[in-house]
């Protein structure tokens, strides 16, 4: 991708998310195997490195996850695969 004849800069978070979805051959599958109840590690955003449990998967690819913050379970929304199954 380029703009004005120059390669576009890609944010580190996007690269991390894509690499997390790639298999050992570097191929990215568009189909997610994540299911409700799966435990995942969040890769991007303010909760990066937190372990979460998938609560709801919506058709628009938004995924609601449960994480524990300060001893309380909190529901957060994560879009587009910013996680890795544990």
What CATH number does the domain containing 78 carry?
A: 2.30.30.30
Q: Is the pLDDT of residue 83 over 90?
A: no
d(CA 55, CA 69): 16
The 8-class DSSP code of residue 76 comes to: E
Q: Is the pLDDT of residue 36 over 60?
A: yes
- Identify the pLDDT of residue 39: 93
Q: Which residues form the domain of 42?
A: 2-85
CB 43 within 8 A of CB 16: yes
Q: What's the total number of domains in the chain? A: 1
Confidence category of residue 29, pLDDT binned at 50, 70, 90: low
Per-residue pLDDT, averaged over 38-58, amounts to 90
């Amino acid at each position: 991708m380029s703009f004005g004849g120059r390669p576009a800069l890609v944010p580190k978070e996007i690269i991390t998310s894509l690499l997390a979805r790639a298999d050992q051959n570097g191929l990215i599958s568009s189909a997610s195997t994540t299911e409700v109840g799966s435990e995942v590690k969040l890769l991007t955003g303010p909760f990066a490195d937190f372990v979460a449990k998938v609560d709801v998967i919506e058709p628009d690819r938004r995924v609601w996850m449960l994480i524990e913050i300060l001893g309380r379970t909190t529901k957060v929304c994560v879009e587009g695969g910013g996680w890795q199954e544990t």
